[in-house]
Amino acid sequence: MNNKVYISNRNKLLKKISDNSIVILFAGEAKQKTADEKYAFTPNRNFYYMTGVHEEHHILVLEKINKKVNEVLYILRPDPVMEKWNGKTLRKDEAKNITGINEIKFLDELFNDLNNKFISGKIKNVYLDLERRSYEDDLTETQKFAKNLRDKYANVQIENAYNLIAELRKIKCAEEIEEIKKAIDITTKGVELLMKKCKCNMKEYELEAYFDFYIKQQGVKDFAFKTIAASGKNSTVLHYVSNDSLLRDGDLILFDLGAQINYYNADISRTFPVNGKFTERQKEVYESVLKVNETIISMIRPGITFLELNNKANELIGEECIKLGLINNKNDFKKYYYHSIGHSLGLDTHDVGERWGELKEGMVLTVEPGIYIEEENIGIRIEDDVLITKDGNEVLTKNCIKSIKDIENFMNNI
Ligand code: GLY
Ligand code: MN
Ligand code: MN
């Protein structure tokens, strides 16, 4: 992506922080997987959002002192011996081009620079990305840094940059939307391939492999998340990922998948019959889910809240479950639908930012109603990705086959 995007992201963050502050963001590092291997590295998304750099270890420092701003990226000093094993690391001129930051220094200069800043007394606040998932998790690199900072420089106040950056990330710029569209287009073609290759008595993983092969062929480096390929009863388990059952004649298969392009994600669910023909009962349930999907999408526009969409979806699914003969009281829908209607989508598949508030132009949201009837081996989810526009919305996944007729015709080459 053009470095103008990262420059603009940094400017927005610098506007939000108090004067006489610095922001320190870490790229992160690959976690150890086994004795001889690490997990594949993926950059901290807030660091990436501010820099476009996707290598481990580098650190970004932004400062605003007496309203004057300054930006420095500290990169790993190239190590010729290590480079013989792991390949070249980022160079100063490359870092400048990618980030649009003029001052690039080496990491071994960082602590001296920081010490000078802190003892000068000019820095009142240090903003760090203090995201935490749970109380039990180990301390992140940033939290260890914060702990050290508290011990060494008692006069500086530690602030959390996480929510500030999350609020920025909720609104996507044109370049980000382009990346999401690319991920969606490749995912859509991958879904078509799955529909074409699907046959009774394959294993779920065997069919899934066509998607893997296709997106890799398109240059995709990673998935948005682990693909869910859930046939029959498995489709009623929301996070079924073992994908090792046999595709049985007469069953449906639910795919929930996404390609990732430059760390921007697609998130699509489609459900189709293994043998290419829905049964009457499967059609009824599918039409119910589709109706909720389409009604909720039609409500999406700036000003409506996610909470309103979610409440409406619950109500509609309750009504559909009554029509399907599953329940008598629409408030009992939770037996057959047990998640929310969607989430923000971007650099994270479940993207950051406050979730329940007003929708604004530039947000991207998933709409993913489902009905899961374990006793009938039927689980159906239909998930689209929707951009909120000035006057309404654009369904970014509009080319992904969705109606019963289109699915059956496509699967049967009609
Ligand atoms: N694939 C995860 C989700 O749809 O939210
Ligand atoms: Mn999904
Ligand atoms: Mn989703």
Concatenating the DSSP letter of every residue in 47-103 gives HHHHH---SSS-EEEEEEETTEEEEEEEEPPP-HHHHHHH-PPPPHHHHHHHH--SE
Ligand 1 pocket check for 204: Cβ under 6 Å: no
Protein residues placing their CB within 5 Å of the ion ligand 3: 267, 366
Nearest to 326 by CA among 288, 271, 383: 288
Element housing 371 (H / E): strand 370-373
In 87-232, alpha helices (H): 92-99, 110-119, 141-152, 162-170, 174-197, 204-217
The torsion defined by the Cα of 125, 145, 74 and 44, in degrees rounded to 10, comes to -100
Atom 4 (ligand 1) nearest CA: 267
Residues of the chain with pLDDT under 70: none
Residue ranges of the chain assigned to CATH 3.40.350.10 = 3-169
Contact status, residue 205 vs residue 244, Cβ threshold 8 Å: yes
Distance CA 49, CA 13 (A): 11
Confidence (pTM): 0.96
Ligand 1 pocket check for 225: Cβ under 6 Å: yes
Distance between first and last Cα of the chain: 40
3: phi then psi, degrees, rounded to nearest 5: -65, -10
Q: Which two tokens stand for residue 48?
A: 């990436």
Q: For 319-364, what is each residue's pLDDT tens digit?
A: 999 999 999 999 999 999 999 999 999 999 999 999 999 999 999 9
Q: Domain 3-169, CATH 3.40.30.10 — does that match? A: no
Q: For 44-94, what is each residue's pLDDT tens digit?
A: 999 999 999 999 999 999 999 999 999 999 999 999 999 999 999 999 999
Distance CA 236, CA 405 (A): 23
Please report the pLDDT score of residue 133 as a whole number.
Answer: 80
Atom from ligand 1 closest to the CA of residue 258: 1
Residue ranges of the chain assigned to CATH 3.90.230.10 = 171-413
Q: How far is the CA of 330 from the centre of ligand 1 (A)?
A: 25
Please report the pLDDT score of residue 138 as a whole number.
Answer: 86
Distance CA 211, CA 253 (A): 14
Please report the pLDDT score of residue 280 as a whole number.
Answer: 98
Please report the pLDDT score of residue 401 as a whole number.
Answer: 98
Atom 3 (ligand 1) nearest CA: 267
Q: How far is the CA of 330 from the centre of ligand 2 (A)?
A: 25
Ligand 1 pocket check for 267: Cβ under 6 Å: yes
- Domain 171-413: what homologous superfamily? Creatinase/methionine aminopeptidase superfamily (3.90.230.10)
Please report the pLDDT score of residue 235 as a whole number.
Answer: 98
Protein residues placing their CB within 5 Å of the ion ligand 2: 256, 267, 269, 383
Please report the pLDDT score of residue 196 as a whole number.
Answer: 98
